[in-house]
Amino acid sequence: MAAFLLWLLLLVFCWPLALLALALYPIVWLVLLPFRLVGITVGAVFAFLGALLMLPARVLRGHPV
Is 47 within the bounds of a domain?
yes
Predicted pLDDT at 28 = 95
What's the whole-number mean pLDDT along residues 11-39? 94
User: Is the model's pLDDT at 65 over the cut of 70?
Assistant: no
Is 8 within the bounds of a domain?
no
Is 29 within the bounds of a domain?
yes
51-61, pLDDT tens digit by residue? Answer: 999 998 888 88
* Predicted model pTM: 0.60
Is 37 within the bounds of a domain?
yes
Is 32 within the bounds of a domain?
yes
Is 65 within the bounds of a domain?
yes
State whether the Cα torsion 39-45-51-56 is positive or negative. Answer: negative
Confidence label for 63 from pLDDT (cuts 50, 70 and 90): confident
Residue 53 lies in domain:
25-65
When divided into structural domains, the chain yields a total of 1
Average pLDDT of the chain, as a whole number: 92
Is 34 within the bounds of a domain?
yes
26-36, pLDDT tens digit by residue? Answer: 999 999 999 99
